[in-house]
């Protein structure tokens, strides 16, 4: 079976949550034979914060290369959006989630007492003098 990817549409949102979304998202949906196995991308908060998210089923975890490919596709979405910062949290107790965020270019930090990961646009990062 092959994992395919497509832009997320409103009908995919119940895979993520059964409540209305609190913000606008831009995401990618992963499918196998028409079944959604994952959804991930970015949520654009009203205050300007951009949050990376991923909801990955147990079935999707059998396809780590596809998961990484989807992550790269999502990072391309954010690069094209020209946003400067993206914030993410790793799934608690999942060391693979932390490794994945690091591989995608996120840097660990602490925000309001919680471990978080931040991606910054390269040309925005201050260079040492």
Candidates 114, 96, 116; CA nearest to 106 is 116
Q: What is the pLDDT of residue 21?
A: 83
Q: How far apart are CA 9 and CA 61, in angstroms?
A: 22
Q: What is the pLDDT of residue 19?
A: 84
* 10 vs 125, higher pLDDT: 10
What CATH number is given for 3-124 in this structure? 3.40.630.30
User: Taking the model in full, what pTM does it have?
Assistant: 0.83
Q: How far apart are CA 24 and CA 14, in angstroms?
A: 15
Whether residue 29 is predicted with pLDDT greater than 90 in this model: the reply is yes
CA angle 112, 99, 120 (to 5 degrees): 55
Across the range 80-85, mean pLDDT stands at: 83
Across the range 89-108, mean pLDDT stands at: 91
DSSP 23: S
């Amino acid at each position: 079976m092959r994992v395919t990817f497509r832009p997320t549409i409103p009908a995919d949102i119940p895979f993520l949550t059964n409540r209305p979304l609190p913000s606008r998202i831009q995401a990618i949906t992963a499918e196998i034979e028409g079944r959604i196995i994952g959804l991930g991308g970015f949520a654009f908060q009203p205050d300007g914060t951009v949050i990376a998210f991923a909801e990955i089923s147990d079935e999707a975890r059998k396809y780590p290369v596809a998961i990484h490919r989807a992550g790269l596709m999502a990072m391309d979405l954010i690069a094209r959006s020209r946003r400067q910062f993206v914030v993410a949290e790793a799934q608690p107790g999942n060391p693979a989630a932390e490794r994945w965020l690091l591989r995608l270019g996120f840097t660990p930090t602490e925000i309001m007492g919680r471990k978080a990961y931040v991606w910054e646009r390269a040309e925005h990062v201050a260079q040492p003098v």
